[in-house]
Amino acid sequence: MGWRWFHQWGSPRWFYERAGRWQLVCGWLALTLLITGSFWGLALAPVDYQQGNSYRIIYLHVPVAFLAQALYTAMAVCAVVLFVWKMKLADVAMQSIAVMGFAFTALSLVSGAVWGKPTWGTYWVWDARLTSMLILAFLYLGVIGLRAAIQDPDQAGKACGILVLVGVVNLPIIKYSVEWWNTLHQPASLKLTEKPAMPASMWIPLLINILGYYIAAGYLILGSMRAIVLERERRSAWVRELVSHA
């Protein structure tokens, strides 16, 4: 058992070549899963007796909301890898994930708001989950903005790494404080009543879609990382060779 598997990640060339293949696999897998899960959720899953058909939004909203939170943690892991092992690829990943994370957070906010309209009668309530999602969106924006403002990519990467680590330490504090704030102002009148256990024909498509969106995120992140690697390594011999053959 050697460390080769780990050191390989230090080579942008190795990553660029492999990631192309992984991307292809992820892309088709995600497409299949998402089509299956979404069709199942939209057409084959039974209607919710309380919410009617509007509940079918969860087959998009829930996976995307999971992803939005998971990606921030993934970014923090990348920041740790960047600072501990000085691995440039971790910085590239951080840059890609920030953009995708913001996109998924925004999508989860919009889908949550549209789901809220038939369910709560209004697009936006200052519910704890919606509020912490909104703050998460601002945190992602901060990482994107900081990177865009700093010219030198190395410096920008480290600054973003610090910001992400500070953010990930604060995220639970923010979440708890927002939850506490919510109980302070609204004694849970707008919460949905406790739901009975979902039948299998409802949760299986949800599971498929969660998996599908995670893999789709992988596909998108790999694609964006490949483009960034190419850009950053533009002076290296392997990129020049690759491009001149293209």
Partner 1 sequence: MLEFQFASLTEFFEMAPHGVYVWPIYGLGLLVLSGLTFANARQHRRAVRMIQRNLEREETHEP
Partner 2 sequence: MSLERRMFTRELKLIAARPGDILKPIWFLMLVISMVPLALAPDSDLLSEIGSAMIWVATLLALLLNAEHLFQSDFSDGVLEQWLFLDRPLVWLVGLKLITHWLFHVLPLILITPIAGIILSVPTDVLLALLVTLVIATPALTCFSGLGAALTLGSSRSGILGVLVMMPLFVPVVILAAGVLIRAMDGSDTLPLLALLGAFSVVAATFVPIVVSAAIRLNIGGSN
The answer to whether the beta carbons of residues 144 and 100 sit under 8 Å apart is no
How many Å apart are CA 145 and CA 155, to the nearest integer? 14
Largest CA distance in the chain: 65
How many Å apart are CA 41 and CA 111, to the nearest integer? 15
Please, what is the minimum distance in Å from the beta carbon of residue 5 to partner 1? Answer: 26
Is 98 an interacting residue with respect to partner 1 (CB under 8 A)?
A: no
Distance of CA 237 to the CA centre of its chain: 33
**Sign (positive or negative) of CA dihedral 45, 47, 48, 53:** positive
- 180, interface contact from partner 1, partner 2, none, CB < 5-8 Å by kind: partner 2
Is 52 an interacting residue with respect to partner 1 (CB under 8 A)?
A: yes
- 239, interface contact from partner 2, partner 1, none, CB < 5-8 Å by kind: partner 1
What is the Cα Rg of the chain in Å?
A: 21
Segment interacting with partner 1, rule: CB under 8 A, options 101-109, 127-135, 139-147, 163-171: 101-109
* Positions in the binding site for partner 2 (CB under 8 A): 135, 138-139, 142-143, 145-146, 149-152, 154-156, 158-159, 162-163, 166-167, 170, 173-174, 176-178, 180-181, 184
Kindly tell me which residue out of 150, 198, 230, 238 binds partner 1, with binding defined by CB under 8 A: 230
| Closest to 106 (Cα-Cα) out of 164, 174, 60 | 60
Is 28 an interacting residue with respect to partner 1 (CB under 8 A)?
A: no
Q: Torsions phi, psi of 26, nearest 5?
A: -60, -45
**Block residue for tokens 């913001």:** 102
Kindly tell me which residue out of 64, 65, 94, 137 binds partner 1, with binding defined by CB under 8 A: 64
Contacts with partner 1, residue ranges (CB under 8 A): 27, 38, 40, 42-47, 52-54, 56-57, 60-61, 64, 100, 103-104, 107, 110-111, 114-115, 117-118, 200-201, 216, 219-220, 223-224, 226-228, 230-231, 234, 239-240, 243-244, 246
